Amino acid sequence: MGEKKKKIVKTIKVDVDKCNGCRACEAACSAFHATPRYGSINPARSRIRVIHEPLKDIYIPVYAGEYTPAECMGRDKYTIDGKEYDECAFCRASCPSRDLFKEPDSGLPLKCDMCESDPDLEEPLCVQWCLADALTYEEREEEVEEEVQQEEIEIGLEALIDKYGMDKIMDTVARISVSKKA
Ligand code: SF4
Ligand code: SF4
């Protein structure tokens, strides 16, 4: 057994019944993560996407979760109130099967980071901008096993290596480092 440590678990509760599909959460998230911060709005860069099925009368906010280099072998279908939803519809993963949760220019995976910043926001921005109160922020303390966090830069590099191959990435890094030193 590893060491125990205290961890703040951050949760956003989603009340699907209250979501009206306004997409303010997408705009707020993409602005917060723009460079420079708040410099642009592009929902394709948002780490929350609202799955919109007008014929089935539903809007479901889905948060970007983990990156996975492989498509999953099985797919899930959901039936809610007697209506069946597509495979992958509510999945949080950034994966090769679809364009969702990928930075549109680079193709790098996007993941919700709960608006980590310094100083911390009082509440994540998508929660602040959800005027319908469909999103509620909660924090609690839990005792967990010490875990090795995979750094964001490592996840990004893994995705690039999957896409272009190790040799190409190493060549590019070598070329950039030469030009930076010159
Ligand atoms: S918590 Fe922050 S990073 Fe996550 S989806 Fe909301 S605005 Fe985006
Ligand atoms: S801001 Fe709130 S109501 Fe609007 S789409 Fe996002 S979750 Fe739904």
CATH: 3.40.190, 3.30.70, 1.10.357, 3.40.50. Which one for 4-147? 3.30.70
Distance from the alpha carbon of residue 74 to the mean position of ligand 2, in angstroms: 30
| pTM for the structure as a whole | 0.79
Instruction: Decide whether any atom of ligand 2 lies within 6 Å of the 11 Cβ.
Output: no
* Higher-pLDDT residue of 148, 153: 153
> In the structure, which protein residues have their CB atom closer than 6 angstroms to any atom of ligand 1?
28-29, 32, 47-48, 63, 112-115, 124-126
Domain boundaries, the chain: 4-147, 149-182
Distance from the alpha carbon of residue 36 to the mean position of ligand 1, in angstroms: 17
Residue 171 and residue 152: Cα distance in Å, rounded? 22
Average of per-residue pLDDT across 15-25? 95
Q: Where are the beta strands (DSSP E) in the chain?
A: 4-14, 48-53, 58-63, 78-80, 83-85, 135-145
pLDDT digits (tens, 9 = 90+) for 87-127: 888 999 999 988 899 999 999 999 999 999 999 999 999 99
Q: If you average pLDDT over every residue of the chain, what do you get? A: 90
